[in-house]
Amino acid sequence: MTMAKDLFIIAMDPGQEPAVGQGDLSLALAGAELIDLLGAGAVTLDGDRVVPGAPSAFDDRLLGEASERLARQTPYERVEDWLWRRGEGLAAVYQAALESNGELIPARSGRLSFGARRMEPVDTPARRGAVDRWERQEPVLAALASVVGIGGDPSDDAPGPDDEAVTVVVAAAHDAVMELEAVRQRRTIENSAFANLWRGP
Task: Tell me the β-bridge partners of 134.
Answer: none
User: Can you name the residues that pair with 44 across neighbouring β-strands?
Assistant: 51
Longest dimension (CA), the chain: 63
Q: Are 135 and 15 in contact (CB under 8 A)?
A: no
At residue 116, the pLDDT reads 46
The domain of 145 spans: 3-199
Tens of pLDDT along 30-75? 999 999 999 999 999 999 999 999 888 899 999 999 999 999 999 9
Asked if 86 and 30 count as a contact pair (C-beta separation under 8 A), the reply is yes
Percent of the chain whose pLDDT exceeds 90: 60
d(CA 8, CA 91): 8
Check residue 167 and give left, alpha or beta (phi > 0: left; psi -120 to 50: alpha).
alpha
The rounded distance, in Å, linking the Cα atoms of 152 and 112 is: 18
Quote the number of domains for the chain: 1
**What pLDDT was estimated at residue 163?**
84
Q: Which of 7, 73, 70 is nearest to 38 (CA)?
A: 70
Full-model pTM = 0.84
106 beta partners: 119
Output the pLDDT for position 185.
80
Low-confidence ranges of the chain (pLDDT < 70): 14-18, 108-118, 152-162, 190-201
Instruction: Please answer whether residues 130 and 142 qualify as being in contact, where contact means their C-beta atoms are separated by less than 8 angstroms.
Output: no
**Cα-Cα-Cα-Cα dihedral sign, residues 36, 145, 143, 69:** positive
